[in-house]
Structure 1
Amino acid sequence: MNTKNKWIICGIGLLLLLGGCMNMDNANGNGVDEKKGTQDEVEDQSNRLVSVQEYNGEGFSLKNGQENDKIAEAKREEVEKAVKDFFLTQYKTDVEIHNIVGNVDGASVFVESVGKPHFHTFAVVPIDSNEDKILTDQVYSLEGEVENAITSGVYGLIYEDQFSKLDKLLKEITEKYPFTGEKIQAINNTKSFGFGNEYYFVSFFDMEISERIVEIYLENPDITKEDLKEVNLKKLSPESINITIQLFKDKKDSNPTNEELEDIAKVIEDAEGLPFGAYNLLLHDNIIDKVTGSGDKETTVDRADPNYIIKNKH
């Protein structure tokens, strides 16, 4: 898979900054005997792998976050209040908190918006580990992270009926072909991808329109489709809306094939009434790395950028 596709899977900002999506092929470079290091890494990797049907986000972690993870968990109520206040103050949004994961500077808190527009995102709560202190007045999000999630959620609201058709289609595909999606618990505990579900997520790349959508949302968080009529979506190109579908084989020791990829892509291509956008289709084996929450590996087959499945406006 190319670099952009891996970036799409990691999500905007979070794992790149905090050490998920790590390159597991790098030499350790720490002076330890390379042969021993490789053997230990293989054993560690085997302990990290779990079936997609079993994975609920347990074991997910961020680089160098062990100490802050303990502090954040011990002061969970304080962390949760700080994050809920942050989203209400900065984004006028009620959120449900799903997971708190230590990182090198504090704790990453994975949240889901309450109601519609619906989206997953995260915020960071800094921690002074020397003082065991939660810096509740310094909560922040990565630049553009929450804004992108809001735009993604609003897009899901605008095309609500079309996304319902996509949900139905993907359910039919998983009934006909030996594939499944991720568990909702895993999504809630490890993902910050904006609008999406166990089968897909939406990424929005037109920054001008995104900024206007966020402005309208902040003026009225109870935004409806009617409120969005003034947003001119006609000039959007399909490539500015990426809908990334990820399916997993439903049995262990089973790898996806190019034939399956072609068949499923054809089903999506032929389907009518789906959301406008450029579709990435990724088929994984049955296994997820429980530390990074990713199913991406050498066995993955994909049809993606630049060979999107394009669905035009109706």
Structure 2
Amino acid sequence: MSEEEKLSYSEAIKKAYASVYRFPLIPVRGIPIMNLIAKNWDSIWAFRPEPSDLLIATYPKAGTTWTQEIVDLLLHNGDAEACKRAPTPIRSPFLEIFSPPPIPSGLDLLKEMDPPRIIKTHLPFQLVPPGFWENKCKAIYVARNAKDNLVSYFHFDCMNMTQPDPGPWEGYILKFMRGEYPCSPGPEVAWGSWYDHVKGYWMEREKKNILYLFYEDMKENPRREVERIMRYLDLSVSDEVISRIVELTSFKNMKENPMANYSCIPAPVFDHSISPFMRKGEVGDWRNHFTPEQSKMFDEDYEKQMKEVNIPFRTLI
């Protein structure tokens, strides 16, 4: 993408969101998602990927952008300049996103790209278009422990002017715990229940050849996890390139990279003065937010909701 095209993209966003508002959530098969996505659901569900396409799936704020950047660098042999050709949402389109015109939808962007394409989604497993599994596409799922994911999503909902107002922290904890429409008559969290999201991909990971990664593992030993991704993609890059990718995708470098830090999204949409898109990127930051009473309440509910699975989450490393 040329400098002129980057400027044009930014101007299109500003124009489209000149009178931005927080889009209401509408249930699609019980999952609350933004109304523009819900209105275009049939075209999303009908999407047919190419067998060479790669799906990167996460619950929001679980390491999506980080993984997109790692994959792009692996596919370009660690060439940092090649991976600055365009902002992340252009290089790796968000499958289900629909925005006010003239901003192109994720589907519009994908139509203009040649495979293999890196495709991002926050859809829970049951809402992923069946073409991905019918065409045996590879998929990487990244899961982050519930408490840190909740904290990060809360700050994101504060600065993201297109999603419902998160309200106070105390109430947001309860919203996150409820997740879906069937569980509550009140406000929900976009893309539904974290619990169902992480469990859905976990239970299908072997049948669908999904590489299931943990955010905490990526933080603890990024080189090991980059190598895991490399092998899963049937790639082979040198140790030197792996080291370069680890360095380029450190939180510090990602936060300073204008092609990855979402600074291309104007303030009426992402208000970075409230919270940066890339805020801390830590494991254990939940301890700075949960009171002992809130932590106890959350842990008790967590045990009930996760009792039927044994997913090895860690809240500290």
TM-score (normalised: structure 2): 0.28
Higher helix share: 2
Q: Which structure exhibits the higher relative contact order, with contacts defined as CA atoms closer than 8 Å and separated by 6 or more residues?
A: 2
TM-score (normalised: structure 1): 0.28
Larger radius of gyration: 1
